[in-house]
Structure 1
Amino acid sequence: MQPSASPYEERLTAPRSWWLICALVGVAMALVLLPFGTLPLLGGLVGGTAASAVLASSYGSVRIRVVGGALIAGEAKIPVSALGDAEILDPEEARAWRTYKADTRAFMLLRAYIPRALRIPVTDPADPTPYLYLSTREPERLSAALETARTTA
């Protein structure tokens, strides 16, 4: 097995049930176009399925990486030296931090279909962001990768 170029990388892919919904959107589009004939029906089936699949895929294409002494989460990139100790959130605590405990200044990379998360305080005094909230399927691995990157930086 080859070593990874990054100590941690995760893609927050959409759940399988969303792909079934994409097929159902295609069927719905086909039914809407049914009165216009067979060819529009097939176009609606293919076009509706494809359009909804593109949307589901783009929403689930966001990645979280720890590489080169930096945490890259979606569009955000922050050096691990500017981060505090990560807090692993169970599903109940994660829901609380994305609702009534949330700070509007926080960077939140959340996906509702991922129940667990990691909350990482930002220790840089020049950064107005109090913490990062990252939905992740493997918060223990991400926390360990951040700690490893911090000690080797």
Structure 2
Amino acid sequence: MQNTTPETRARYRERLSPSLWLLVTIALAGPMVSLIFVPVGSTVALIVGAAVSALLVLAAIALTPVVSVDGGVLRAGRAHIDVHHLGDPVALTGEDARQARGPGLPARGWHLIRGGIDGVVVVPDTDVDDPVDVWTISSRTPERLAAAITAARS
């Protein structure tokens, strides 16, 4: 018997988590908060400082957007679009990616840009009813994301 259910596993999934240096910087808020509680007691200050650091780092990781292509749908953060509404994706790195993230960023586009991530995938939106012209998405592996979008379109 043939499997008639559509492909349900993710073709591509990436969490755009902060870099290690940004997480260390976020964690430094804990010692600063602990200084406020030193008059109450050093033990209380250490516990509160460690808890604040842990909570902020966990929140920074948990609240990062996810980019995925699965079931014929591109999801970038909270937004999603069927891949049949998309044109050919272009994977960019280096100077081309900097141009696409900065001066070349279209005003009528949908953007998911994350600092510290060099790669960018630019995907034209071919839906005439959609006010968005192009999707610009940060990715650490832009070639894989572009290939997943192309594969999901076919």
TM-score class normalised by the smaller sequence? 0.7 to 0.9
- Give the Cα separation in 2 of the matches to 1:55 and 1:119: 28
TM-score of the superposed pair, with normalisation by structure 2:
0.86
- RMSD value, Cα: 1.8
- Consecutive unaligned residues of structure 1, counting only runs of 5 or more, are none
Task: Name the stretch that deviates more: 93-102 or 117-126.
Answer: 93-102
State whether structure 2 residue 123 is matched by structure 1 residue 123.
Answer: no
TM-score of the superposed pair, with normalisation by structure 1:
0.86
- Give the Cα separation in 1 of the matches to 2:59 and 2:13: 22
Q: 1:81 is aligned with what amino acid?
A: H
Match of 1:73 in 2: 76
State whether structure 2 residue 153 is matched by structure 1 residue 150.
Answer: yes
Choose which of 112, 117, 125 in structure 1 pairs with 2:115.
112
C-alpha deviation, 1:45, in angstroms: 0.8
More helix by share: 1
Match of 2:55 in 1: 51
C-alpha deviation, 1:12, in angstroms: 1.1
**Consecutive aligned runs of 4 or more in structure 1 exceeding 6 Å deviation:** none
Q: Kindly indicate whether the alpha-carbon contact (under 8 Å) linking 1:65 and 1:71 is maintained by their aligned counterparts in 2.
A: yes
Q: 1:134 is aligned with what amino acid?
A: I
- Give the Cα separation in 2 of the matches to 1:26 and 1:51: 9
Percent identity (aligned): 33
Match of 2:106 in 1: 103
Match of 2:23 in 1: 19
> Cα deviation per residue 1:75-124 (whole Å; 9 max; x = unaligned)?
11111111011111113222222222222321111111101110001011
- Consecutive unaligned residues of structure 2, counting only runs of 5 or more, are 1-7
Q: Kindly indicate whether the alpha-carbon contact (under 8 Å) linking 1:91 and 1:117 is maintained by their aligned counterparts in 2.
A: no
